[in-house]
Structure 1
Amino acid sequence: MSLQAVRPKILGFISEQASAWLVALVVFSAGCALTVIVAWSASDLYQQQVRQRFQLLVNERFTRLQERFEDQEQRLGSLRRFFVNSSEVSREEFDGFAQPLLLRTRAYVWAPRVFRDQRSQFEQEMSRQRGTPFSIRELNPSGELAPAAERDEYVPVLYSQTQSLLGSPLGFDLLAQPLRRSVVERAQSSGKLAVSQPMQLVGVEPAYATGVLLVAPVTPLTGTEPHGFVMAVISMRQLVAEGLPKPDRDNLVMQIVDTSDQQKRLLYESSNALASSDLSASRRLTLGDHVYALSLRPSQVFDQTNHSSLASILTMGGLLSLLLSALLYVLVSQRQRALKLVEQRTVQLRQREQELRGAHGQLRSVLNAATQVAIIATDLRGVINTFNAGAEQMLGFKAEQVLNRSTLESLHVAAELEARAASLSVTLGKRIPPSQAMLVENPDSLHEAREWTLIRQDGSQLTVNMLGTVLLDDHGLWVGHLAIYLDVTEQKRAYEALAARDRLLKKLSAHVPGGIFQFTLEPHDNWRFIYASDGMRDIYEIEVGVLQQDAKKVFERIHPLDAERVRASIRLSSLQLSHWREEYRVQLPQRGLRWIRGEATPEELPGGGTLWHGYVSDISDLKRVEEELRALSITDSLTGIHNRRYFQDRLKAEMVRLNRTSGALSLIMLDIDHFKRINDKHGHGVGDGVLQELCRRISQRLRRTDVFCRLGGEEFMVLCPNTDGAQAYSLAMDLWASLRSAPMEPVGVVTASFGVASWQVDEGIDGLLLRADSAVYVAKQAGRDRVAVETIRT
């Protein structure tokens, strides 16, 4: 194509005659317009992202508050079940059970029902038990507690476990005030949890005074009417605000309103500043029999955190447009100067063209000098007119034997040419003669070397790679073909040997359990599998081809808790050239969680990096057997509770914790009374049943943190972490009562001797166990069927 054909335009779309300044101005205007469009799109995207972030914050806040409300219901429910399952609860037992429940609750209260004819006797009995005067009281007009007026029924506060520094309003009658009476009557009629309207709480610091009462009736197992109520005094500030971000860091402004309150008073409102945004969200919270409306809006902190980048986009877009226009100005002006220079050089190139024609003869000499490659040229009829020295050496013919006498077709095996011609005819949709089969290119494999079989002068065959092309004269006319042949016989033999070795390796690896691999860690933290057997696909559920392309796919399968450890062990093995061995978990899409064991031997690569030869295998079944054996080793086979070994391990761990952080720890040891008589009279089968029933009853009365173990025979131990002596004694009395509360068939009532010992500072395991055993001995010497406390340190 001549120079005149390309002169009208520069850079494909800019006229050569156009002013560089005009081009720069047009590009700058277009860039500014594009910047405005992008800024508009970014603004819309920003608004969507802000709404999404706000919804995420709203959902997280709602979930957290609902969990807190449900937790309060569960805690009060557990206190109610404690009273339902106990015939009588002392104040010490109430304090021991309710004190651990005080989480985001100001107080827990027990209030029995007292009728008019029982009031005097009740007040006298409570005064005698407490050692101080006790009376049923109510608030007088001045807001002070005074003796309650005569009514048919009272529900006075008898027990209270509180966080308040103001103490507990003992004797306060819940029926003396309309709001409290309403919630008590609703709980009594429904038999379920009931919540009061928002009120000012009694006996609570002013900062926490606004809240509600959560009341649950306590109905005996054999009765239909409640004999009292348990109540949670809940400050909304403590329940909602504690544990949330501080006001100067909170992204949300929150309001909670009781939907059943006709005045729609605020139960809780955040103190942080509201943002100037139209975003808002509402949710419904439930507590007992009330539904609360939770209103959430973004705060000023949320606006400051999610500021728009519109100004930055406009600024950067304008600058980029300016730079691009300046760049095009430089390019256009330089292109115009370059075209003038091209015209000057064209004359010089035509002179060089004549010189290149003279070099054509020299090129023929160079072709003959290529003795390792056969170069053969033909005319349009296929008659050979060029046969270099390499062709003579490869095929055994002399040039004068074939030049202008033989065709290229005569050097090929006829069967290959016919098969190739038939395939090309189908592909191209026209008939291709066998004489042209080696010269016609397949559109799917254009300019690719193809393997052929040639016939030497002595009749032997030679495997070669052939690349064929057309020959053009100085005017671009087609004058013949050029074929270049390369002997690949030895190369093919080497490939066949490698293929045989690969097949052997594949067969061997198929019979090896697990997967075999070669893995490299190259500089710049480049991980790569250079070989992976088919077993690797079964181990990681990843195709072998994918593994070899991206080794990091394996680490995506490794369990997050094990991934960093495996990476660190590989790096350590690379650094020290030490044997690598790891056991880790993988999370597979189909088989789920599996255990894998891997081993590999490293070697240093000459160019830097490390190469490992190793294998991996699935050890999930072995791990499962290990876990089953471990469970059997710490479980008593008869009763199903923990055995002596587990008790010793847990006791050692608790002693280590005490020596490190201090705290409380108690032991409750029990020994069944006259157990040998049961075995002798009823047989060992009945004795085993007694042991199992005893474990069932005691397990029902224990807390989640307690550890119940069988030491052997009829001896048992309860390990009570974070429990002082008084709490442990209260728990032991509860266990003692539950054991003798009902007979066991067919032996009747079974009793046990209990011993309680609490850890003392600087005391060892042996000393604590000895004191617990001594306490059991004291209980037996005192007549059995009792709880004894050993307080003397030995």
Structure 2
Amino acid sequence: MSKYGVRAKVFGLFSEALSAWAVALVALVAGALLTAALAIAAQTFYKQQLRQRFELLASERYSRIAERFDDQEQRLDGLRRFFSYSTEITGREFDGYVKPLLHRTQAYSWAPRVTAAQREAFERQASGVLGQPYQIRDQDMQGVLQPATPRDHYYPVLYSQAASQPGQPYGLDMLGQALRQTTLQRAGAPGSMAVSAPLDMLNVEPAYARGLLMVAPVFAEGAGHAAPSGFVMALLSMRQLIAEGLPAAVDDNLSVRILDTSGSNGQEVLYDSQSPIAPIPMVSNHLLHLADHHYQLAIRPSQAFLQANRSSAAQGVVWLGGLLSLLLSALLYSLFSQRQRALKLVEQRTAELRVSEQSLRGTHNQLRSVLDAATQVAIIATSLKGVISTFNAGAERMLGYSASEVMGCLDLAELVQTDELSQRAHALSVRYGRDIAGGQALFAETVREAGGEPGEWTLVRKDGSQLFANMLVTAVLDEQGLWVGYLAICIDVTERRRVHEALAARDQLLEKLSAEVPGGIYQYCLYADGRSCFPYASQGLYEIYEVDLQLLREDATRVFERIHPDDLERVRRSVRYSAEHLSPWREEYRVILPRAGLRWVRGEATPEIGEDGCTLWHGYLTDVSDPKSVEEELRTLSITDVLTGIHNRRYFQERLKSELERAQRDGLELAVIMLDIDHFKRINDEFGHAVGDHVLRSLCQHIGQRLRRSDVFCRLGGEEFMVLCPGSDAEQARSLALELWQGVRGLSIAGVGRVTASFGVAGWRPGEGADSLLLRADAGVYAAKQAGRDRVEVELP
């Protein structure tokens, strides 16, 4: 029976039809497994996308909450400085300053320090100021306010401005309750700020009753720092602070919780958005900072987030994969059925060809044809003594001899360079401790191990020229397994060796050139599974990242560990974009190096698709720290007025544009104050420009000390100045302008005397542009000058 008949029988142990069915079943199972794998991969990719979207939303929500916390600290700090820089604050001035700050804040209060000896006089004075009976009081366990018990000193609430004015806790002593007293003690140092544990606020809507008390000490100038002259306070409701401006709980994509972990009763939930949490294991934890306290922020995806990001890709893969598997099974069943019928025909033909196969087996010409056909390979057979007995056409072409010239006349050793053969024979003699002739060295070097690799030898042609060849020598055995000769197969590698030498020279040249290029030249490879490496990196790349180049050739992770955390995600995103769109990559970013510290790096690269489907970039990196430093210095100079040290017109125009966009977007208030020094030309003419410059600097220093941190003070040119007041309306800006006007009138400059200024105030109107707002402020200055100068004029209706 032929070998084909045996294979068909083994393949179909039971029947021809059963084998076709088995192949179809295997294909169906394999298709099902592949479909399952693709469905799992699609589901995994969907989960990755879901996590990326969640992390993006969570990061934005955390940034918004942290910004609101910082805003509360800045507002309270501004109120503190308002009291610190003023000798006496009236209730009307307090209300005028605090009212714009009540956005997302329940209340602001002022509690001065009152000694026991001052108590009665203070209560009488406060009753007159507030227009109602005033008494320093404590809050008992039931929340009822009663006259305060005697103590060395008090911090009673004198002024208070809240979202709901009725029922303000005037006279409430902050030292009368342990929790408030502890908060004041933590904020006893100059410049400090403290926040209380969660407490129940007085006279606040029930939904916002649970909140925090944030306090900041106020120290009088020149009074030392033994004890604060009073405290400014802010009552914060987490629900009001966090939830304002966010979607409703059922529509919010995120579920947010803020926990206070420092309480004596364990964790307390300060805020819970009440959004239904999605059943997926995702959470983003952050640490929030408010005054001297930290809070735990936990953000989870909600049911709304899950509904908005549903995907049916896995189901589509299952249906499509199942259909394709069925079609493939049917196709394979048809093909194998036809194959089995063809095997029967092959068995019939095998019997007919058997006679022809027997007659061809003993034909000597078949071997000769095979040898002569190998024109690119030299096949040389020798006797045990090395005399050549077979010399094919490839050997004739390679060495220039005809078969008749060498067969029975030359040894194989005579075709090898004499000096090379002698050197190898000497090396083998030293190794084995006995003399080995040159011919023996040829065979001992190549036949020492069965199946060994071919050795490289220098062969000599008939014309005396030389060539490099890989020669594999094997033993020829007879029917009894005895050696009867050798068979040498030679392949000309002269050209390949020349190419290798040229490549080595090119690599050496590339290393020399790259050493002269500032920065580093590299190849960066990114595989589909996320792995990355640097197949080539010049020595300059070590100076950029201070990472061993050998490690980078295996794994590029160390490079991303050197990138500044604030720039890392941007760099990764730009690399992904370049890979997806095959667009040039250009980026500037910072790196933190063990020795050089913080440095700026600029890189450019061009991507292409590699042979194995990876993305391969060719580019360079260079250190741009010095140009970056110069650029930052130039930026600072470009927005600063050289004479006064405050911001210049360019900076004012940039800030005015951004604040107008913010006010339009968020519905906030905005106002400007323009002032012009009266008769400044007369000062220059009478006292000289040096004195005029001194007047400008003194005026700027005095006004800058009275402004809030959020206000922007700029010099437009000459003696014209502008104050940008974000968050303030026209009336509030007018109050600030009156305060600045009084301060300027009370300022006496040596050698000049009293200097006055004319002020113009304008509040922003929705839909109004920058030019119109500045025109109205300028009109106010003009009106003040027309009315006799040294006054404040507000905008016209």
Q: TM-score, normalised by structure 2?
A: 0.64
Alpha-carbon offset, residue 626 of structure 1: 4.6
Asked if structure 2 preserves the Cα contact closer than 8 Å seen for 1:595 and 1:623, the reply is no
Q: Give yes or no for the alignment of 1:459 onto 2:450.
A: no
Alpha-carbon offset, residue 180 of structure 1: 8.8
Task: Give the aligned partner of residue 470 of structure 1.
Answer: 475
Inter-partner Cα distance in structure 2 for 1:615 and 1:194: 51
Alpha-carbon offset, residue 624 of structure 1: 5.1
**Aligned partner of residue 437 in structure 1, secondary structure:** helix
Asked if structure 2 preserves the Cα contact closer than 8 Å seen for 1:774 and 1:790, the reply is no
Q: Give yes or no for the alignment of 1:561 onto 2:570.
A: yes
Inter-partner Cα distance in structure 1 for 2:69 and 2:766: 39
5+ residue gaps, structure 1, are 1-61, 274-283, 306-347, 575-579
Task: Give the aligned partner of residue 205 of structure 1.
Answer: 205
Task: Give the aligned partner of residue 767 of structure 1.
Answer: 772
Asked if structure 2 preserves the Cα contact closer than 8 Å seen for 1:469 and 1:483, the reply is yes
Inter-partner Cα distance in structure 2 for 1:514 and 1:295: 44
Task: Give the aligned partner of residue 755 of structure 1.
Answer: 760
Asked if structure 2 preserves the Cα contact closer than 8 Å seen for 1:384 and 1:406, the reply is yes
Inter-partner Cα distance in structure 1 for 2:427 and 2:787: 108
Alpha-carbon offset, residue 667 of structure 1: 0.8
Task: Give the aligned partner of residue 84 of structure 2.
Answer: 84
Q: Write the letter of the residue equivalent to 2:689.
A: H
Tell me: CA distance 1:669–1:598, structure 2 relative to 1, closer, same or farther (3 Å).
Answer: same
Tell me: CA distance 1:608–1:560, structure 2 relative to 1, closer, same or farther (3 Å).
Answer: closer
Asked if structure 1 preserves the Cα contact closer than 8 Å seen for 2:80 and 2:217, the reply is yes
Asked if structure 2 preserves the Cα contact closer than 8 Å seen for 1:522 and 1:609, the reply is yes
Alpha-carbon offset, residue 122 of structure 1: 1.4
Alpha-carbon offset, residue 375 of structure 1: 1.4
Tell me: CA distance 1:520–1:229, structure 2 relative to 1, closer, same or farther (3 Å).
Answer: closer
Which is further off, 362-371 or 181-190?
Answer: 181-190
Q: Write the letter of the residue equivalent to 1:466.
A: M
Identity %: 49
Asked if structure 1 preserves the Cα contact closer than 8 Å seen for 2:126 and 2:158, the reply is no
Tell me: CA distance 1:121–1:537, structure 2 relative to 1, closer, same or farther (3 Å).
Answer: closer
Asked if structure 2 preserves the Cα contact closer than 8 Å seen for 1:80 and 1:217, the reply is yes
Tell me: CA distance 1:750–1:180, structure 2 relative to 1, closer, same or farther (3 Å).
Answer: farther
Task: Give the aligned partner of residue 173 of structure 2.
Answer: 174
Task: Give the aligned partner of residue 221 of structure 1.
Answer: 221
Alpha-carbon offset, residue 357 of structure 1: 8.2
- Structure number with the bigger relative contact order (C-alpha 8 A, sep ≥ 6) is 2
Q: Write the letter of the residue equivalent to 1:125.
A: G
Alpha-carbon offset, residue 758 of structure 1: 1.0
Alpha-carbon offset, residue 724 of structure 1: 0.7
Q: Give yes or no for the alignment of 1:720 onto 2:720.
A: no
Inter-partner Cα distance in structure 2 for 1:390 and 1:204: 104
Tell me: CA distance 1:151–1:678, structure 2 relative to 1, closer, same or farther (3 Å).
Answer: farther
Alpha-carbon offset, residue 712 of structure 1: 0.8
Tell me: CA distance 1:156–1:752, structure 2 relative to 1, closer, same or farther (3 Å).
Answer: same
**Aligned partner of residue 94 in structure 2, secondary structure:** helix
**Aligned partner of residue 776 in structure 2, secondary structure:** helix
**Aligned partner of residue 420 in structure 1, secondary structure:** helix
Task: Give the aligned partner of residue 419 of structure 2.
Answer: 415
Q: Give yes or no for the alignment of 1:159 onto 2:159.
A: yes
Task: Give the aligned partner of residue 340 of structure 1.
Answer: none
Asked if structure 2 preserves the Cα contact closer than 8 Å seen for 1:105 and 1:234, the reply is yes
Asked if structure 2 preserves the Cα contact closer than 8 Å seen for 1:218 and 1:230, the reply is yes
Q: TM-score, normalised by structure 1?
A: 0.64
Aligned match of 1:230 in 229, 232, 237? 232
Tell me: CA distance 1:482–1:212, structure 2 relative to 1, closer, same or farther (3 Å).
Answer: closer
Asked if structure 2 preserves the Cα contact closer than 8 Å seen for 1:598 and 1:617, the reply is no
Q: Write the letter of the residue equivalent to 2:222.
A: T
Inter-partner Cα distance in structure 2 for 1:296 and 1:585: 30
What do residues 415-470 of structure 1 show as CA deviations (whole Å, max 9, x unaligned)?
A: 11233345556778887653333331499997434432222334333333322223
Task: Give the aligned partner of residue 602 of structure 2.
Answer: 596
Cα root mean square deviation, aligned: 6.2
Alpha-carbon offset, residue 159 of structure 1: 1.5
Task: Give the aligned partner of residue 118 of structure 1.
Answer: 121
5+ residue gaps, structure 2, are 1-61, 277-286, 307-350
1:688-703 to 2 correspondences below 5 Å: 688-703=693-708
Inter-partner Cα distance in structure 1 for 2:477 and 2:124: 128
Which is further off, 585-594 or 482-491?
Answer: 585-594
Asked if structure 2 preserves the Cα contact closer than 8 Å seen for 1:255 and 1:296, the reply is no
Alpha-carbon offset, residue 746 of structure 1: 5.4
Alpha-carbon offset, residue 710 of structure 1: 0.9
Inter-partner Cα distance in structure 2 for 1:71 and 1:636: 28
Which is further off, 763-772 or 546-555?
Answer: 546-555
Inter-partner Cα distance in structure 1 for 2:361 and 2:786: 127
Alpha-carbon offset, residue 717 of structure 1: 0.8
Task: Give the aligned partner of residue 16 of structure 1.
Answer: none
Asked if structure 2 preserves the Cα contact closer than 8 Å seen for 1:92 and 1:730, the reply is no
Asked if structure 1 preserves the Cα contact closer than 8 Å seen for 2:136 and 2:173, the reply is no
Inter-partner Cα distance in structure 2 for 1:656 and 1:744: 39
Alpha-carbon offset, residue 197 of structure 1: 9.0
Inter-partner Cα distance in structure 2 for 1:443 and 1:119: 113
Alpha-carbon offset, residue 86 of structure 1: 1.2
Asked if structure 1 preserves the Cα contact closer than 8 Å seen for 2:780 and 2:794, the reply is yes
Which is further off, 226-235 or 106-115?
Answer: 226-235
Task: Give the aligned partner of residue 332 of structure 1.
Answer: none
Task: Give the aligned partner of residue 389 of structure 1.
Answer: 393
Task: Give the aligned partner of residue 14 of structure 2.
Answer: none
What do residues 315-357 of structure 1 show as CA deviations (whole Å, max 9, x unaligned)?
A: xxxxxxxxxxxxxxxxxxxxxxxxxxxxxxxxx9xx9999998
Task: Give the aligned partner of residue 685 of structure 1.
Answer: 690
Inter-partner Cα distance in structure 2 for 1:539 and 1:531: 15
Alpha-carbon offset, residue 160 of structure 1: 1.0
Aligned match of 1:363 in 361, 367, 381? 367
Tell me: CA distance 1:530–1:678, structure 2 relative to 1, closer, same or farther (3 Å).
Answer: same
**Aligned partner of residue 457 in structure 2, secondary structure:** strand
Inter-partner Cα distance in structure 1 for 2:460 and 2:266: 105
**Aligned partner of residue 442 in structure 2, secondary structure:** coil
Alpha-carbon offset, residue 597 of structure 1: 5.8
1:599-614 to 2 correspondences below 5 Å: none
Asked if structure 1 preserves the Cα contact closer than 8 Å seen for 2:447 and 2:474, the reply is no
Inter-partner Cα distance in structure 1 for 2:289 and 2:577: 49
Which is further off, 264-273 or 504-513?
Answer: 264-273
1:122-133 to 2 correspondences below 5 Å: 122-123=125-126, 125-126=128-129, 132-133=131-132
Task: Give the aligned partner of residue 136 of structure 1.
Answer: 135
Asked if structure 2 preserves the Cα contact closer than 8 Å seen for 1:110 and 1:229, the reply is yes
1:36-435 to 2 correspondences below 5 Å: 76=76, 79-99=79-99, 106-112=106-112, 115-118=118-121, 121-123=124-126, 125-126=128-129, 132-136=131-135, 156-163=156-163, 165=164, 167-169=166-168, 171-174=170-173, 201-209=201-209, 218-223=218-223, 227-233=229-235, 358=362, 362-363=366-367, 365-423=369-427, 433-435=437-439
Q: Give yes or no for the alignment of 1:792 onto 2:796.
A: yes
Asked if structure 2 preserves the Cα contact closer than 8 Å seen for 1:116 and 1:151, the reply is no
Alpha-carbon offset, residue 414 of structure 1: 1.7
**Aligned partner of residue 657 in structure 2, secondary structure:** helix
Asked if structure 2 preserves the Cα contact closer than 8 Å seen for 1:471 and 1:480, the reply is yes
Tell me: CA distance 1:689–1:724, structure 2 relative to 1, closer, same or farther (3 Å).
Answer: same
Inter-partner Cα distance in structure 2 for 1:444 and 1:255: 77
Inter-partner Cα distance in structure 2 for 1:194 and 1:493: 79
Tell me: CA distance 1:422–1:253, structure 2 relative to 1, closer, same or farther (3 Å).
Answer: farther
Inter-partner Cα distance in structure 1 for 2:288 and 2:618: 60
Alpha-carbon offset, residue 81 of structure 1: 3.8
**Aligned partner of residue 635 in structure 1, secondary structure:** coil
Asked if structure 1 preserves the Cα contact closer than 8 Å seen for 2:525 and 2:614, the reply is yes
Task: Give the aligned partner of residue 41 of structure 2.
Answer: none
Asked if structure 2 preserves the Cα contact closer than 8 Å seen for 1:710 and 1:716, the reply is yes
Tell me: CA distance 1:623–1:430, structure 2 relative to 1, closer, same or farther (3 Å).
Answer: farther
Inter-partner Cα distance in structure 1 for 2:270 and 2:183: 27
